[in-house]
Amino acid sequence: MHTYIIFCLVPLALCVSHIANAEWRVGDFGAKGDGKTDDTAAFQQALDAAGAAGGGVVEAPAGTFRINGTLSIPAGVTLQGTFRTPPNSHYGKGPELVGTVLHAYAGRGAREGAPFIRLAGSTATLAGVTVAYPEWKQSDVPPIPYPPAVAGEHVENVAVIDCCIINAYEALYFKNAARMIIRNIFGYPSMRGLYIDACYDISRVENCHFWPFGVMYKPDDPYCLWVNENGVAFEFARTDWQYVTHTFCFGYGAGYKFSKSENGACNGSFVGIGADCCSRAVLVEDLQEWGLLITNGEFVGRWGSKDSVCIEVAPEAGVGKVSLNNCAFWGPIDRCIWHRSPKTQFTAIGTNFCNWDILLAGSPAVQLDAGKAIFQGNTFADGDLHIEIGPDVASAIITGNQAAGGLVCDNRAGKRAQLALNEESPVTWPRGSLRHYAIRIGTEGDRRYAREWYGPEKAGEWPDGAGTKRWSGVKSVLRLPVEPGRKYTITLEVFVPPLAVAPENGLYLGDTPIIRIPEEEGPMILTGKLPATEADEVVLELRAKGWRPKEGFEETIYARTLGVAVRSVTMKTKGAPKAVYDANTGEWRD
């Protein structure tokens, strides 16, 4: 058995001192955490002591700490609260905040003032705390400005981790802060959630969630509406190969904004990002040549909106590429994509498009005004017009896309657009089929004929409950194929709800009424006569008194204005065969 003696080469007192000072506690410097005492000086003294020792962890226990001033975290120092995951369960009403809570008071009314917490040196870190603004009121519209809750400028390798920032005006602001990491940050900042500029080396933003924490959200609440029209969740100016993964925002004017500062614009990788209830889920004002790579994104229009565009590339955007892969669009949308820049290239692959043209205005899912675009292997759900290619588009390649009833593309760019191998309509119109056919409204394939109607539903209003229907708007269109020179009898199966009864309801050819809908409610079968035309298609307009579902039938956040419901349309002319041609599927039936 051997005995070993280990000698300390430095005085024992220094060894003990070094170990003892590896951590500091704000309570040891006089912090009370009672929500009443100003604990600014106690926090700053603890932070400065850690900084003077070369770095360490300043522990802040559970409690509500009133901070009347601002805090500065030195290089190598972490201000650590009790949370190891982000606190995220605080609503506008409910239990008080728990854990390490810092109440911010400084800078009210002065957006350009000193930030509440400054990461003042490289490797400075804020972790595990909730920052709240007790003077905030949801009734203040527009919101009262404050400086950023957390900021870092001219630093490197800083971090903000596992924090919740309640009701800040601006949560996070970073400029000239290379290789920073922002992870697990929750909250609902009103003006802006995160801003990054002049980051010339890779930084990471992970698992951040800007959602109405601390707010009782309603689409028409004045405060929520202000944020939903003016607020920005994530804004990226000049940042080189920015990495953003698994982030989400709800209820902003712009979910992800790519802007241009005096330093330039952004390029980077954006994976698993989401934006719900946003006027612009993604707004590209500018970008770098190397582009924006967006994968597994989901984008939703603003609830109750009339003009939401999920991804807009502004006319001033420069040379670069926006690439979508395996993304999804849904919710109340006017257009899913609006590409307006002559210098930018846009590509979408394996993406699903739904729920556009919410106002039945004839808006396409994808509107290409300029520049170049490739759309390949995408799917389009129910809708009238899938892609509109404007006359100023330099090049568009549209291949291998599927759409219910066949891809509908309005090409105004001529040979500069190439369309191939896209799903086509299954209907071929064999001999005699145009003389007697029926359209089942609300069943796949009806969008070739029924334009500017709401989505398909079960036809529960009819006594037999069979089949499907669509609700019209105040004005909806039927585009019906005909044999030139033939007169037709048209038959509609219609349901009129009580709130839609009106004398002007009917089916019109121009301003000529073809069918008058009686001033009665309930299901009915109506017929009318169509004059002969030299065209191979007749365009009819169904006009109805508008009504809102929430006024008597169903609650909805989308504020649809409905007219009447239609279950089927049948067209018949002289010499018609006994069998009826199914215009949805291209098959004959008895």
Closest residue by Cα to residue 425 from 448, 453, 449, 441: 448
pLDDT at 550 exceeding the cut of 70: no
Report the percent of the chain where pLDDT is more than 90: 83
- CA dist 235 and 255 (Å) reads 8
Residue 384: what pLDDT?
82
Q: What is the pLDDT at residue 558? A: 53
CA–CA distance, 357 with 306 (Å, rounded to integer)? 9
Strand stretches in 133-191, DSSP E: 150-156, 159-166, 170-178, 181-187
pLDDT grade for 359, boundaries at 50, 70 and 90: confident
Distance separating alpha carbons of residues 513 and 542, to the nearest angstrom: 10
pLDDT higher than threshold 60 for residue 18? no
Q: For all residues of the chain together, what is the average pLDDT? A: 92
Give the number of C-alpha atoms closer than 13 A to the C-alpha of residue 565, restricted to the C-beta side: 24
Task: Identify the band that residue 9 occupies on the pLDDT scale cut at 50, 70 and 90.
Answer: very low
Picking from 321, 258, 264, 318, the residue whose alpha carbon sits closest to that of residue 284 is: 258
The arithmetic mean of pLDDT across residues 528-545, rounded, is 96
Residue pair 206/182 in contact by the 8 Å Cβ criterion: yes
Decide if pLDDT at 19 tops 50. no
Question: pLDDT tens for residues 237-258?
Answer: 999 999 999 999 999 999 999 9
Q: Is pLDDT above 90 for 57?
A: yes
Peptide bond into 142 cis (omega under 30): yes
Residue 437: C-alpha distances to residues 337, 433, 586 (Å) = 36, 6, 10
**pLDDT > 70? residue 437:** yes
Domain(s) of CATH 2.160.20.10: residues in the chain: 9-220
Contact 444, 423 (CB under 8 A): no
**CB neighbour list of residue 181: distance below 8 Å, 6 or more residues apart:** 158, 159, 160, 161, 203, 204, 205, 206
Q: What is the pLDDT of residues 368-400, one digit of tens each?
A: 999 999 999 999 987 789 999 999 999 999 999
279 closest CA partner among 296, 313, 304: 304
Question: Which carries the bigger pLDDT value, residue 45 or residue 550?
Answer: 45
Name the CATH code of domain 231-424 (choices 1.25.40, 2.160.20, 2.10.260, 1.10.3470): 2.160.20
Which tokens hold the place of 222? 């004045």
Confidence of residue 96 (pLDDT cuts 50, 70, 90): confident
Q: What is the pLDDT of residues 151-191, one digit of tens each?
A: 999 999 999 999 999 999 999 999 999 999 999 999 999 99
HEC per residue, 228-286: HHHCEEEEECCEEEEEEECCEEECCCEEEEECCECCECEEEEEECCEEEEECEEEEECC
pLDDT for 94? 47
Question: In the chain, pLDDT over 70 holds for what percent of residues?
Answer: 93
* Closest by CA position to 365, among listed 416, 317, 327: 327
The neighbour count for residue 10, using CB atoms within 10 Å, is: 8
β-pair partners for 344: 320
Q: Predicted confidence band at 14 (pLDDT cuts at 50, 70, 90)? A: very low
Q: 400 is written with which tokens? A: 């291998």
Per CATH, the architecture of 9-220 is what?
3 Solenoid (2.160)
Q: What is the enclosing helix (H) or strand (E) of 19?
A: helix 12-20
Higher-confidence residue of 105 and 332: namely 105
Q: Is residue 504 pLDDT above 90, yes or no?
A: yes
> Is the pLDDT at 3 greater than 50, yes or no?
no
Q: What average pLDDT does the segment 78-105 reach?
A: 79
CA proximity to 223, closest of 251, 249, 248: 251
pLDDT at 90: 54
Fold classified for 433-589: Jelly Rolls (2.60.120)
Q: What are phi and psi of 540, to 5 degrees?
A: -115, 150
CATH 2.60.120.1320 segments of the chain: 433-589
* φ, ψ at 50 (rounded to 5°): -65, -40
- Are 585 and 426 in contact by the 8 Å Cβ rule? The answer is yes
pLDDT digits (tens, 9 = 90+) for 440-473: 999 988 988 998 898 899 999 999 999 999 999 9
Amino acid identity of residue 322, one-letter, is V
Q: Residue 358: phi, psi to the nearest 5?
A: -65, -25
Going by pLDDT thresholds of 50, 70 and 90, the confidence category of residue 88 is low
- Record the pTM: 0.85
pLDDT confidence of residue 10:
37
- In this predicted structure, what is the pLDDT of residue 447? 85
Angstrom distance (rounded) from CA 224 to CA 212 = 9
Query: What is the spatial distance between Cα 563 and Cα 528, in angstroms, rounded to a whole number?
Result: 20
Among residues 474, 569, 477, the alpha carbon closest in space to that of 527 is found at: 569
- Which range among 15-24, 92-101, 178-187, 543-552 shows the weakest confidence by mean pLDDT? 15-24
Per-residue pLDDT for 138 more than 50?
yes
